[in-house]
Structure 1
Amino acid sequence: MKVLPRRRRAVLINSVLGVAVLAGAGGAYAAVTSGSDGPARSGARTVAVTKGTVLATVSGSGSLSSPSDAGVNFTTGGRLTEVNVKPGDKVAKGQLLGKVDATAATETLTQARAALTAAQANVAKAEAGQVSSAPSSGSSSSRSGSTAASVPAATPTVDPAQLAQARAQLTQAQNAVDAAQRAVDGTVLKAPAAGTVASVSAKAGDTVSGTSGNGSGGSGGGNSGSSGNSASSSAGSSSSLSGFVVLTNPSGMQVTANFSEADVLKLKPGQAATVTLNAKSGTVLNAQVLSVSSLPVSSGSSSGGGNAGGGSAVQYAATLTLTSPTDDLRSGLSATIQVVVGEASGALSVPAAAVSGTGANRTVTVVKADGTTVRTPVTVGLEGDGTDQIVSGLTEGEQVQLATVSSTGNGGFPGGAFPGGTGAGGARNRGGTGAGAGGSFRTGGGGGGRG
């Protein structure tokens, strides 16, 4: 047997490998460039053009809060004589929460009322004026034997300065009575609205400070006692409120959520939304956008649910009102929010993965009854979550081909692209290249982000 020289054998082996590589590359390139008119690709998925509702949403994350939550305090400080509620109690509007010793306040009110009575008398006296008699012209008994004299009638004289001073004193006295009465009333604390007691900061015998408003002041120098210890178990945003009693009320519950800078531009008051509680994933609540902030709330935070592109972490807050029943909800519960920013009812639609191209140059691959395919131009309306509205170019029931992305690609090349080429597609962005060029990524429907 004749053995080939080593060099000739190497040349022969390399030639065989080169032919194999070129054959494989040619097959791969043909697979990549196919898809105009011709038979449907083997194994390609097809779906029917359907009619229904196309929705476009953006997502955010936030927590529940209630504008009715409040921390309430006595307006008159003193020693607590009664504590009538404990954490967890449900109270009605006007229900008694507690009392402080009213002895000093009552004494002050009594003194103020006495001063008011004296001031009222002084005003009456000043208004009556001073009485003076006209000088007599002589003894009437010596004239013509007259038995009586004619004496001029007394005339009142009102001093304007004295009257003004008396009236000013009366006003001061009335103000003092009003203030003393408020002080007495302030020794009794009642619920300003219905709700649930989240915390009680003091117990009977403790001293609490007085305040002219709610939500501040808190307890004075007294010990919190057992009731105060219960406050540590209060949930939600009640921890941001202070007061002798903190009340929570789910009525009028709202959600404050953060959205990416790309998504917040799509939000408007009145848009419908759904709220999913993170602690109860099966609970979905209806909501409506109430307001959208024009100022950023964070930078460098990843807490928002929106899919902002370009690596930007700037977020904006939006407030939503819950329209579902809120009786069993608590302030502070975290939630995920989906806001409907676009809706097309009775629309023809296909999965986003079936649409190729950008802008006005959109096409789909229609699969005919005989298995052949035709690349068909279409006009896309609303780009929804995983589906696109088709305004023109298709009819209901037509079969369209979905784009396929394989980990090994066509012809054995990664990504289905000829070596050194631009790739066969994969995830694309609307409006440009890169993750953030077109704003939010679209999810669902197997389509991924498109450009």
Structure 2
Amino acid sequence: MRRVPSLLVNLALAGLALGAVGWSVLLVRDTGTATTKASAGSRTVTVAQGTVTATVAADGTLATATTASASFETSGTVTAVYAKVGQTVKNGQLLAKVDPAAAQRALDLAQANLDAAQDALARAVKAGSDTTTATNNVTTTTLSVEDAQADVDGTKLTAPMAGTVISVNGTVGSSASSSGGGGSQESSGFVELADLNKLQVSASFGESDATKLKTGQTAALTWSALTDATATGKVTAIDPSATTSNSVSTYGVTISVDSLPDGAKPGQSVSVTVTTGTATDAVYVNSAAVTVSGTRYTVTVVADDGTTETRTVKVGVKGDDSYQITDGLTVGEKVVVPETSSSSTSTTSNQQGPGGGFSGGGGPP
């Protein structure tokens, strides 16, 4: 019977221990933070401070920003071509001619008809008779002379703008048809001009990347055909509607070029990288260490004693390599990198500060 009290005491102690465990579990559930030991093989990264830059990229083509197409206003046989490909011309400079003989004969006839109408009007006035018909004839023949003179003038093709000749679509002896506008912007003129001092890059971005683009964003440009040729520019236009090909939708984007590198010519391929977001002096961590679930971002922080804590964080600029953390982490903390993780399609560059990469086994605190 002496062992009964001892047994009761042991049972009571065991009950207290179980109660303490249950109480600690309840505390963990109430705080929403689980604390465990980090495994020996865990990879970690250190929270650092620096610049986080998010970008999107696409391939583009260098093109002229300003072009013009010059066409004859009067059709005929080409008698002279003065323009040559590569030649720099001034606005209004003579580029080519067609045979003016037919147009000149029409002008001479129209002028003779006008002279006759004016004589008839003068006789009617002198005779004091009704001048209505004679006046109408003068008006009609005057308009005919103006039209005939325009046809004569139209046998000479002049430059509608200053620029460089990039195409001549005819030779002496060929037949040139009239377009009705010597300064047409269509690419079907007898002579095509471009302002090579104003080049721009035309690129196509996927619909996901295009949602991140805005006019005024800076761009880095790299030439494929030119060694070490780079330039900077800005997004100047984004197509309002997509172009779909093979079930893939893209948006056309125009990028201005601040300063062209030597050897740059229209038609060259250019790689375009547009900066869509930048955070300076930002607290950041490798994006592989951030777990994303809907709109919730979490990280697993390793304490000095090796225990881990799952923590919700707020994210600012998201790059491919790093995320800006606006709340939830401090510089120097260690964060576990899960074995499987996903990253965004943006990129991050120009990061400053220590500890942005991977380290093994938790590393020093």
TM-score by length of 1: 0.59
Q: Does the aligned pair in 1 maintain the 2:85–2:168 contact within 8 Å?
A: yes
Q: 2: CA distance between counterparts of 1:399 and 1:320?
A: 43
Q: Number of residues paired by the alignment?
A: 316
Q: CA 1:299–1:105 in 2, change beyond 3 Å: closer, same or farther? A: closer
Q: 1: CA distance between counterparts of 2:197 and 2:228?
A: 22
Q: Does the aligned pair in 2 maintain the 1:215–1:241 contact within 8 Å?
A: no
Q: 1:362 aligns with which of 277, 293, 298?
A: 298
Corresponding position of 1:441: 345
Q: 2: CA distance between counterparts of 1:351 and 1:122?
A: 95
Q: Does the aligned pair in 1 maintain the 2:55–2:346 contact within 8 Å?
A: no
Q: In percent, how many aligned pairs have the same letter?
A: 34
Runs of 4+ with deviation above 6 angstroms? 370-373
Q: Does the aligned pair in 2 maintain the 1:259–1:318 contact within 8 Å?
A: yes
Q: CA 1:378–1:347 in 2, change beyond 3 Å: closer, same or farther? A: same
* Paired residue type of 2:180: S
Q: 1: CA distance between counterparts of 2:204 and 2:255?
A: 15
Write the mapping of 1:15-164 to structure 2, written as runs, cut at 5 A. Answer: 38=37, 41=40, 44=43, 46-52=45-51, 54-126=52-124, 128=125, 130-131=127-128, 159=130, 162-163=131-132
Q: 2: CA distance between counterparts of 1:124 and 1:385?
A: 88
Corresponding position of 1:279: 225
Higher relative contact order (CA 8 A, sep 6+): 2
Structure whose residues are more often strand by fraction: 2
Q: Does the aligned pair in 2 maintain the 1:290–1:318 contact within 8 Å?
A: no
Aligned residue for 2:345, secondary structure, equals coil
Displacement of 1:322 in angstroms is 0.8
Corresponding position of 2:275: 340
Q: 2: CA distance between counterparts of 1:166 and 1:56?
A: 78
Displacement of 1:178 in angstroms is 1.7
Q: 1: CA distance between counterparts of 2:253 and 2:215?
A: 9
Question: Once the two structures are superposed, what CA deviation does each residue of 1:80-103 show, in whole Å capped at 9, x if it has no partner?
Answer: 332213222222322221222223
Q: 2:286 aligns with which of 351, 363, 368?
A: 351
Displacement of 1:391 in angstroms is 0.7
Displacement of 1:251 in angstroms is 4.1
Q: CA 1:293–1:357 in 2, change beyond 3 Å: closer, same or farther? A: closer
* Paired residue type of 1:180: A
* Paired residue type of 2:210: V
* Paired residue type of 1:50: Q
Q: 2:189 aligns with which of 236, 243, 246?
A: 243
Aligned CA RMSD, in angstroms, stands at: 3.5
Q: CA 1:170–1:365 in 2, change beyond 3 Å: closer, same or farther? A: farther
Corresponding position of 1:400: 334
Q: CA 1:82–1:197 in 2, change beyond 3 Å: closer, same or farther? A: same
Displacement of 1:376 in angstroms is 4.6
Q: 2: CA distance between counterparts of 1:425 and 1:106?
A: 86
Question: Once the two structures are superposed, what CA deviation does each residue of 1:287-315 show, in whole Å capped at 9, x if it has no partner?
Answer: 33333334331232xxxxxxxxxxxx521
Write the mapping of 1:307-318 to structure 2, written as runs, cut at 5 A. Answer: 313-318=247-252
Q: 2:212 aligns with which of 266, 269, 286?
A: 266
Q: 1: CA distance between counterparts of 2:287 and 2:311?
A: 15
| Consecutive unaligned residues in structure 1, runs of 5 or more | 1-34, 132-157, 217-237, 301-312, 404-423, 430-439
Displacement of 1:399 in angstroms is 4.4
Q: 1: CA distance between counterparts of 2:231 and 2:62?
A: 12
TM-score by length of 2: 0.72
Displacement of 1:214 in angstroms is 5.2
Q: Does the aligned pair in 2 maintain the 1:253–1:321 contact within 8 Å?
A: no
Question: Once the two structures are superposed, what CA deviation does each residue of 1:29-67 show, in whole Å capped at 9, x if it has no partner?
Answer: xxxxxx965568568454451133x22222233323334
Q: Does the aligned pair in 1 maintain the 2:243–2:251 contact within 8 Å?
A: yes
Q: 1: CA distance between counterparts of 2:46 and 2:173?
A: 75
Aligned residue for 1:269, secondary structure, equals coil
Q: 1:324 aligns with which of 243, 247, 258?
A: 258
Question: Once the two structures are superposed, what CA deviation does each residue of 1:348-397 show, in whole Å capped at 9, x if it has no partner?
Answer: 222212323433342253565x877665543212212422111122334x
Q: Does the aligned pair in 1 maintain the 2:49–2:281 contact within 8 Å?
A: no
Corresponding position of 1:173: 141
Displacement of 1:326 in angstroms is 4.6
Q: 1: CA distance between counterparts of 2:271 and 2:317?
A: 24
Larger Rg: 1
Q: 2: CA distance between counterparts of 1:39 and 1:296?
A: 49
